[in-house]
Structure 1
Amino acid sequence: MTDQITMDNGITADEIVINADPVKGQETVLTEGALSLLKTLCKHFAADVPTLLANRKVKQALIDNGQLPDFLPETKSLRENEWKVRGIPNDLQDRRVEITGPVDRKMVINALNANAKVFMADFEDSLAPSWQKIVAGQINLRDAVAGDISYIAAETGKLYTLDDDPAVLICRVRGLHMLEKHVSFAEQAIPASLFDFCIYFYNNYRQLLSKGSGPYFYIPKLESHLEARWWAKVFAFVEERFCLQPGTIKCTCLIETLPAVFEMDEILFELRSNIVALNCGRWDYIFSYIKTLNRYSDRILPDRQSVTMDTPFLSAYSRLLVKTCHKRGALAMGGMAAFIPSKDANENQQNLDKVRQDKQLEARNGHDGTWVAHPGLADTAMEIFNEYIGEDHVNQLHITRDVDAPILAHELLAACDGARTEIGMRRNIRIALQYTEAWINGNGCVPIYGLMEDAATAEIARTSIWQWIKHSQHLSNGVLVTKALFKEMLVQELAQVKEEVGAARFTHGRFTEAAVILEQITTADELVDFITQPGYELLVS
């Protein structure tokens, strides 16, 4: 251990420092014990994160230079050997429907009360991480775990409280690429993932274990088994520090990047003491397909609406995840239904039909459960998975897919047919514009045109256009997609958004700032990794 260095302000260089105005109730979750654990985790693990992120860039450079992703030859024996993950707790055996959403107080209550087995409380893609929202989210989850959370709607006076049998709570932390700029250690912003994990674990593990549950986490954006190994070390360190049985902390990893789909066995192996499932994070996966293969002119995606789960490369991804998980004794979770109920009866029925078709495909493939973004879709998803799982099982671990032919790399990388249309391009611009404006105003989960948009879907919208520009694609009407065309459409669609939201909302909003961000990253020569990175600098505190 290095000696502590005292700075001019009297704070030692290896102390946790909060660089934000206090939030009401902050002291109840950022306690001395929680911050002590955070300091220890940062001391042991924070310095590894830049190396892991640098490894991503090394791998991406190889792909850019023509080495397409493939299964790792050095871990072939691991994939061929027989082994299984440690086991699945009783309250995570049945996950046939999971509802997801941000950690605001009303959402937490409604989601835990929904007709779903699990609520995935999200500090990541559906949350714009202002300090206020991050701290309030931790307070809300602590109160939910304690069972005494309530909320009174200011506009109606309606009281919201927890039902007697709420869903199982899983906390999704932020990805390794994200920093928590409001907290520093050794004068550096700390990994946001460590902050989210530490504060939720410390404040809730005793209460969760006393109720027969446990500290459960969703881990997003993994790109390699080395990143999974880092998480396994974090979990093991915390379990030992708090005298918990190995494997007490449980996690589900999202397979939502193209590199990770080639390392699913390896990810499960590295986390075998703690992991219970993998999840098809489909929207981020589509975004990652574009980002990872951005130099390849023969792998350009069409309009977003055309890229459905029966598309060959997505179907292969889903089936391989099921086969891999079930071979190792882990659950295989399906992806998100982003539709939201509509007040128009015909439109609502169309949305439900699309959800039903999507969920039937997942259930047929052997998934053990699925995600919905709105309580109004939970019944539809539940009905379908009840039908496929049946009365004699609580999941589909018995579906091995052993009769399938091996799924090869070329199937996971297959190009996707479909049109690139002007309507699709303009819609992408409006979605990305409205989402970015909402995000920098602190709202990371936004209903737009009948879909619940989050960071992942906004990423698809803007990277699709970037890809079309880079590779000089023509729209179905013959028009060449250029930077100039995009800028022209952006001005037009900004005016269209103003008409849709109204002059007052537009004037008091931040649409012009959002348009500037969108123009900068969409016309950049190199693909910007995440739209939230430039947005984070403008995010309201």
Structure 2
Amino acid sequence: MTDSVISSTLTFSQPFTHAEKQLLTPEAIDFLHSLVARFAPERDRLLKAREQRQQRYDQGALPGFDSETASIRENAWQVRPIPELLHDRRVEITGPPDRKMVINALNANVKVFMADFEDSLAPTWQKLVDGQLALRDAVKGTLSFTSEAGKIYQLRSDPALLMCRVRGLHLDEKHVEWRDRAIPGGLFDFALYLFHNVDALLEKGHGPWFYLPKTEHASEVAWWREIFRFSEDRLDLPRGTIKATVLIETLPAVFQMDEILWELRDHVVGLNCGRWDYIFSYIKTLGQHGERILPDRQQISMDQPFLDAYSRLLIKTCHRRGALAMGGMSALIPSKDEERNAWVMQKVREDKAREAANGHDGTWVAHPGLADIAMAEFNRQLGDRPNQLHVSREQDNPITAERLLLPCRGKRTEAGMRANIRVALQYLESWISGNGCVPIDGLMEDAATAEIARTSIWQWIHHRQILSDGRLVTAALFEQLLDEELHALQHSLGEERFRHGRFADAAALMAQITTDDELVPFLTLPGYRLLP
């Protein structure tokens, strides 16, 4: 079968092979359609509201706490109790739902593996289908993988708990249409994971547990709340069976944390400090505010006052409401060079010790080789306790909007600009080639870190910043450095790898989105058009 597949409700542009037939059964398609028909129109209204808020920020307004919801912030209430299995999440590992990676992640010394259909996955149709089937096999306990060399990978008898991160509100699934429009990518991911796995998860005492990314406003998680309720009713599940952790990874959302917990109170189990997306969102949200420009990415660490305030406010808010406060991702990865590796391990140790001391209940790593260090720091802080819900941070001074919006000082340098170009260029090339998670210069880069790289340069150009050597940042300077870095990459990778890659496409896309008069909100939107 080679033509598009048209069900009575949805149109699929890809042929149904054996894999699709396992996943997209008539019953699964019917469930997906019921969600799309009911909830896709509201998704469009929520995205429009985002645009309107951003227009106000671009005209000079600043994000802040909403006076109309002050009663939610001031009154005493708590979310529904957290399931026993989710009390201890001291170390979580994340990555795309690639078969080998899922096995290695679930076998690592961690409590949770978050299978990511969002920032670390380039959503080709094949990867989406294979990813869902890999998670289905993982839930059943039958997942295995044999490498080309014949090495067999299998799940251990007591793997980590599984969570699924669906795509953000802004992302479509172009391979499936309803009424001649692409459906929301997050609904596709959610529907198939829930439909195929909920019974097996519940049978072994687990549950359908999700991560919700890129939230900007409580009304967006209210949308998910209704999706959860509808799904529970449709599948005859008790209220509150579906659980979610919400990533606080946008600047507007940090002012909405109480409201987010309130709207999702029957389902939410925690909030997470998505630090890299948060830095990106700070740049994007305040893109027109010339007095709030950040320095080189390398100087923006969690001990900066505006990021420390974000971490502490999240902990205080979550613990007051009975929800877990998860820490952020260490993007560093182990190195084969002994000296470099010792430096990496020390940096990760310091980062995780800071999070644990602040009162976070757990943290993220991107590589199994960092799990032991993260685990040791949280074990040291938690002792026999499963979490730090007892840490109230009531002794802290009130965290004001001014403190959350305070930019960090630092230099803007040619070296920083070149590093941003290298990261964004290589990541874009990898992403449009179908790989959304890439080691670059000793860091595990995903869409969030690439976003910081390109939006920083856009803002420096837009506001005519001066580099530390006195040069004005212009589009011409950026294009000169981009060309030089492209040639340097060609030399370092070799002619064959360069010729067979998509570096010209990536450079053209980067030049476009970095020099446009208007800031493109997500690089994955124009990038998606270049994916098969």
Report the TM-score range of the alignment, normalised by the length of the smaller protein. over 0.9
Q: Distance in 2 between matches of 1:264 and 1:278?
A: 8
Indicate the residue corresponding to 1:102 in structure 2: 96
Aligned partner letter, 2:324: L
Aligned partner letter, 2:523: I
Aligned partner letter, 2:162: L
Aligned partner letter, 1:83: W
Indicate the residue corresponding to 2:244 in structure 1: 251
Indicate the residue corresponding to 2:373 in structure 1: 380
1:161 equivalenced with 2:154 (yes/no): yes
Indicate the residue corresponding to 1:525 in structure 2: 517
Q: Distance in 1 between matches of 2:242 and 2:326?
A: 19
Indicate the residue corresponding to 1:263 in structure 2: 256
Q: Distance in 2 between matches of 1:109 and 1:30?
A: 24
Indicate the residue corresponding to 1:33 in structure 2: 27
Indicate the residue corresponding to 1:139 in structure 2: 133
Q: CA RMSD in A?
A: 1.3
Give per-residue Cα distances to partners, 1:493-539, cap 9 Å, x unaligned. 00011122111100110001100000000000010011111111111
Q: Distance in 2 between matches of 1:290 and 1:399?
A: 31
Q: Distance in 2 between matches of 1:34 and 1:14?
A: 13
Q: Distance in 2 between matches of 1:14 and 1:404?
A: 57
Q: Provide the secondary structure at the position in 1 that maps to 2:529.
A: helix
Aligned partner letter, 1:54: K
Report how far residue 111 of structure 1 moved.
Answer: 0.2
Task: Rate the CA distance shift 1:161–1:10 in 2: closer, same or farther, 3 A.
Answer: closer
Aligned partners of 2:4 and 2:12 also within 8 Å: no
Indicate the residue corresponding to 2:119 in structure 1: 125
Residue among 164, 180, 183 paired with 2:176: 183
Aligned partners of 1:178 and 1:192 also within 8 Å: yes
Task: Rate the CA distance shift 1:373–1:10 in 2: closer, same or farther, 3 A.
Answer: closer
Q: Distance in 2 between matches of 1:226 and 1:482?
A: 39
Report how far residue 21 of structure 1 moved.
Answer: 3.0
1:460 equivalenced with 2:489 (yes/no): no
Where do 4+ consecutive residues of structure 1 move more than 2 Å? 9-14, 21-24
Task: Rate the CA distance shift 1:372–1:11 in 2: closer, same or farther, 3 A.
Answer: closer
Indicate the residue corresponding to 1:441 in structure 2: 433
Indicate the residue corresponding to 1:4 in structure 2: none
Q: Provide the secondary structure at the position in 2 that maps to 1:419.
A: coil
Task: Rate the CA distance shift 1:11–1:311 in 2: closer, same or farther, 3 A.
Answer: closer
Give per-residue Cα distances to partners, 1:239-263, cap 9 Å, x unaligned. 1111111100000000000000000
Q: Distance in 2 between matches of 1:269 and 1:522?
A: 38
Residue among 82, 90, 95 paired with 1:88: 82
Aligned partner letter, 2:505: E
Aligned partners of 1:150 and 1:162 also within 8 Å: yes
Residue among 391, 400, 405 paired with 1:399: 391
Residue among 76, 91, 96 paired with 2:70: 76
1:199 equivalenced with 2:192 (yes/no): yes
Aligned partners of 1:23 and 1:132 also within 8 Å: no
Indicate the residue corresponding to 1:3 in structure 2: none
Report how far residue 22 of structure 1 moved.
Answer: 3.3
Aligned partners of 2:438 and 2:445 also within 8 Å: yes
Q: Provide the secondary structure at the position in 1 that maps to 2:424.
A: helix
Work out the percentage of aligned pairs sharing the same amino acid.
60
Q: Distance in 1 between matches of 2:5 and 2:503?
A: 40
Q: Distance in 2 between matches of 1:22 and 1:525?
A: 42
Aligned partner letter, 2:515: T
Give per-residue Cα distances to partners, 1:371-420, cap 9 Å, x unaligned. 000000000000000000112x1000010111111100001100111111
TM-score, scaled to structure 1: 0.97
Equivalences for residues 452-531 of structure 1 within 5 A: 452-531=444-523
Give per-residue Cα distances to partners, 1:28-57, cap 9 Å, x unaligned. 111111111001001110111110000001
1:287 equivalenced with 2:280 (yes/no): yes
Aligned partners of 2:4 and 2:15 also within 8 Å: no
Q: Provide the secondary structure at the position in 2 that maps to 1:47.
A: helix
Aligned partner letter, 2:262: F
Aligned partners of 2:6 and 2:12 also within 8 Å: no
Unaligned stretches of 5+ residues in structure 2: none
Task: Rate the CA distance shift 1:360–1:12 in 2: closer, same or farther, 3 A.
Answer: closer
Residue among 323, 333, 336 paired with 2:326: 333
Aligned partner letter, 1:516: A
Aligned partners of 1:326 and 1:397 also within 8 Å: yes
Residue among 52, 56, 60 paired with 2:54: 60
Q: Distance in 2 between matches of 1:234 and 1:289?
A: 29
Aligned partners of 2:163 and 2:209 also within 8 Å: yes
Number of aligned residue pairs: give it: 530
Aligned partners of 2:12 and 2:175 also within 8 Å: yes
